[in-house]
Amino acid sequence: MSKESAEKPWGGRFSEATDAFVEEFTASIDFDQRMYKQDIAGSKAHASMLTKVGILTEEEKQSIHEGLDAIQQDIEAGKLGWSVSLEDVHMNIEARLTDRIGITGKKLHTGRSRNDQVATDIRLWLREHIDFINEELLRLQKGLVDLAEREAATILPGFTHLQVAQPITFGHHMMAWYEMLVRDSERLMDCRKRVNRMPLGAAALAGTTYPIDREYTAELLGFDHPANNSLDAVSDRDFAIEFCATASIIMMHLSRFSEELVLWTSAQFNFINLPDRFCTGSSIMPQKKNPDVPELVRGKTGRVTGSLITLLMLMKSQPLAYNKDNQEDKEPLFDTVDTLLGSLRAYADMVPNITVNADAMREAAMQGFSTATDLADYLVGKNLPFRDAHEVVGKAVAYGVEKQKDLSEMNLTELQQFSSAIEKDVFNILSLEGSVSARNHLCGTAPKQVLLQVESARKKLLL
Ligand code: ARG
What is residue 10's predicted lDDT score, i.e. its pLDDT? 84
What is residue 450's predicted lDDT score, i.e. its pLDDT? 98
Distance 342 CA to ligand 1 centre (A): 29
Ligand 1 pocket mutation pick from 31, 115, 328 by most atoms within 8 angstroms of CB? 115
Interhelix angle for 114-150 vs 330-350, to 10°?
20
Looking at ligand 1, which atom is closest to the CA of residue 28?
A: 1
Please tell me the distance from the alpha carbon of residue 403 to that of residue 160, in angstroms, as a whole number.
24
pLDDT level of residue 233 (50, 70, 90 thresholds)? very high
Please tell me the distance from the alpha carbon of residue 174 to that of residue 388, in angstroms, as a whole number.
35
pLDDT tens track for 383-400: 999 999 999 999 999 999
Cβ proximity of 203 and 116 under 8 Å: yes
Has residue 19 got a pLDDT over 90? yes
pLDDT tens track for 41-77: 999 999 999 999 999 999 999 999 999 999 999 999 9
Which three-class secondary structure state does DSSP give residue 241?
A: helix
Q: Which domains does the chain have, with CATH numbers?
A: 3-110 (1.10.275.10), 115-362 (1.20.200.10), 372-430 (1.10.40.30)
Catalytic residue among 161, 317, 420, 441: 161
Distance 114 CA to ligand 1 centre (A): 6
What is residue 287's predicted lDDT score, i.e. its pLDDT? 81
Has residue 4 got a pLDDT over 80? no
Has residue 378 got a pLDDT over 60? yes
Where are the extended beta strands (E) located within 245-323? 272-273
Task: Give the lowest-confidence range in 9-23, 314-328, 350-364, 396-410.
Answer: 9-23
Q: Please enumerate in sequence order all residues whose Cβ is within 8 A of that of 419, keeping only pairs 6 or more positions apart, or say none.
A: 379, 382, 384, 392
Q: What is the dihedral of CA 375, 377, 382, 388, to 10 degrees?
A: 80
Task: Give the lowest-confidence range in 54-68, 99-113, 271-285, 295-309.
Answer: 271-285
What is residue 9's predicted lDDT score, i.e. its pLDDT? 82
Has residue 3 got a pLDDT over 60? no
Residues lining ligand 1, Cβ inside 6 A: 28, 32, 88, 114-115, 118, 322, 324, 326-327
Atom 3 in ligand 1: residue holding the nearest Cα: 327
Please tell me the distance from the alpha carbon of residue 339 to that of residue 337, in angstroms, as a whole number.
6
Q: Which helix (H) or strand (E) holds 60?
A: helix 58-76
Has residue 161 got a pLDDT over 90? yes
Whole-number mean pLDDT of the chain? 96
Give DSSP secondary structure letters for 400-448.
HHHHT--GGGS-HHHHHTT-TT--TTHHHHHSHHHHHHH--STT---HH
Has residue 381 got a pLDDT over 90? yes
| Residue of 30, 52, 44, 150 whose CA lies nearest to 97 | 44
pLDDT tens track for 293-321: 999 999 999 999 999 999 999 999 999 99
Neighbours of 222 (CB within 10 A): 13
* Winning range, highest mean pLDDT, from 276-285, 319-328, 423-432: 319-328
Distance 90 CA to ligand 1 centre (A): 9
Which three-class secondary structure state does DSSP give residue 159?
A: strand
What is residue 2's predicted lDDT score, i.e. its pLDDT? 61
Looking at ligand 1, which atom is closest to the CA of residue 88?
A: 1
For 461, counting Cβ atoms within 10 Å of its Cβ (0-12 exposed, 13-18 middle, 19+ buried), the class is: middle
Cβ proximity of 184 and 175 under 8 Å: no
Cβ proximity of 322 and 204 under 8 Å: yes
Average confidence (pLDDT) over 201-216: 98
Backbone angles phi, psi at 234, to 5 degrees: -85, -20
What is residue 286's predicted lDDT score, i.e. its pLDDT? 79
pLDDT level of residue 143 (50, 70, 90 thresholds)? very high
Cis preceding-peptide flag for 70 (omega within 30 of 0):
no
Ligand 1 pocket mutation pick from 10, 39, 83, 114 by most atoms within 8 angstroms of CB? 114
Neighbours of 95 (CB within 10 A): 20
pLDDT level of residue 20 (50, 70, 90 thresholds)? very high
pLDDT tens track for 415-445: 999 999 999 999 999 999 999 999 999 999 9
Distance 27 CA to ligand 1 centre (A): 9
Q: Please enumerate in sequence order all residues whose Cβ is within 8 A of that of 443, keeping only pairs 6 or more positions apart, or say none.
A: 449
Q: Please enumerate in sequence order all residues whose Cβ is within 8 A of that of 379, keeping only pairs 6 or more positions apart, or say none.
A: 388, 389, 392, 393, 419, 421, 422
What is residue 15's predicted lDDT score, i.e. its pLDDT? 86
Interhelix angle for 89-101 vs 36-52, to 10°?
60
What is residue 5's predicted lDDT score, i.e. its pLDDT? 61
What is residue 285's predicted lDDT score, i.e. its pLDDT? 82
Active site (annotated) includes residue 437? no
pLDDT level of residue 1 (50, 70, 90 thresholds)? low
What is residue 111's predicted lDDT score, i.e. its pLDDT? 98
Active site (annotated) includes residue 282? yes
